[in-house]
Chains A and B, each alone.
Chain A
């Protein structure tokens, strides 16, 4: 393994995808067998814990061997690649399902054969590009969320203003791994946008061979406002004697 080396040459090598959250399409059907109330001596096969947690499982769901092209490969020269601007242009707001940027044959539209290309990725001669890998190939009713653009016109002018894209590359120090600025639902599989020949150029990882992404990159959403760290109350909860010095020392200074 080579040094990740965000300090090796470029100042800040890795940027992180700017996606927030897809509208609630995550339908989890809990259809698993139940276990006994007291599991000291469980029946065999009853210790299942449920469907995989999407955000936890997805990062491991696509292994290099499952992909048409190894994620460490950058792809053939001249291939039309994805850019961050184009990536954003396909989405109405951060986290929106992207529009389908290419024409669909009728049978593709009817049968939604998207996963033939988008499950494993790979070179698509028809487009002179590598197919982006779906971050959620377990879903196959693709057109439920992704639709093509069949006209460039608007019916009426729109006053829509999108939410701001999150700041990419936010990191605590020089060389720290950047935090994940987007939600992980539906997009926990980092390879989709950050590795392989179809990666978005600006947010391509420098180390696509590593599989346990969240070892270093942790979500920055869902917690308190950025910048805040834990601060301890001056007085211990329910305690009689506050730790209190002459200048009020004792925490939180």
Chain B
């Protein structure tokens, strides 16, 4: 069961909306920043496919501008499925090149 964390960059002014949308998703814990347009997201999913599907779903949200993986761990039961592996990471979008 992967546990991952992300920094989520919302569209301008959409921090609250994104927080609400993410909090409604299963396996998602979200902490919005108090003074910046950023949110922290921790996900807990059944397997890497579910993690990838969740990520795709979040990325498709119109008010989400960017998503960057910051942590990943899987249980020893599925040691081959490391979300920090290059193949996994390749699929993760990077932050846009703006401060």
A and B touch in the complex (CB under 8 A): yes
| Interface contact B86-A225, CB-CB below 8 Å | yes
> How many contacts between A and B, using CB within 8 angstroms?
40
- Given A86-B99, A89-B97, the answer on whether A226 and B90 have CB atoms closer than 8 Å is no
Q: Which of these, B70, B82, B99, contacts A225 with CB under 8 Å?
A: B82
- B42 to chain A: closest CB distance in Å? 15
Q: Does B41 contact A (CB under 8 A)?
A: no
Number of residues on chain A facing chain B (CB within 8 A):
17
- A136 to chain B: closest CB distance in Å? 24
| Interface contact A225-B92, CB-CB below 8 Å | no
| Interface contact B94-A85, CB-CB below 8 Å | no
Q: Does A83 contact B (CB under 8 A)?
A: yes
Contact with B along A182-224 (1 / 0, CB 8 A): 0000000000000000000000000000000000000000000
Closest to B83 in A: A227
- 67-96 of chain B: CB within 8 A of chain A: 68-70, 74, 79, 82, 84-86, 89-90, 92-95
Q: Which of these, A164, A169, A170, contacts B93 with CB under 8 Å?
A: A164
- Given A85-B98, A227-B84, the answer on whether A167 and B89 have CB atoms closer than 8 Å is yes
Contacts of B97 in A (CB 8 A): 85, 88-89
Closest to B76 in A: A253
| Interface contact B90-A167, CB-CB below 8 Å | no
Closest to A163 in B: B90
| Interface contact A226-B99, CB-CB below 8 Å | no
Contact with B along A149-174 (1 / 0, CB 8 A): 00000000000001111110110000
| Interface contact A83-B94, CB-CB below 8 Å | no
Contacts of A85 in B (CB 8 A): 95, 97-99
| Interface contact B89-A83, CB-CB below 8 Å | no
- B93 to chain A: closest CB distance in Å? 7
- 58-100 of chain A: CB within 8 A of chain B: 83, 85-86, 88-89
Give B residues with C-beta under 8 Å from A: 68-70, 74, 79, 82, 84-86, 89-90, 92-95, 97-99
Known contacts A164-B94, A167-B89, A228-B82, then 11 further A-B pairs from the complex at CB < 8 Å, ordered by chain A residue: A85-B99, A88-B97, A89-B98, A164-B92, A165-B95, A167-B68, A225-B82, A225-B86, A226-B85, A227-B84, A227-B85
Of all A-B residue pairs in the complex, the 6 with the closest CB atoms, nearest first, are: A227-B82, A89-B97, A85-B99, A225-B85, A226-B84, A165-B94
6 contacts between A and B (CB under 8 A): A85-B98, A86-B99, A167-B84, A225-B85, A227-B74, A227-B85
Give A residues with C-beta under 8 Å from B: 83, 85-86, 88-89, 162-167, 169-170, 225-228
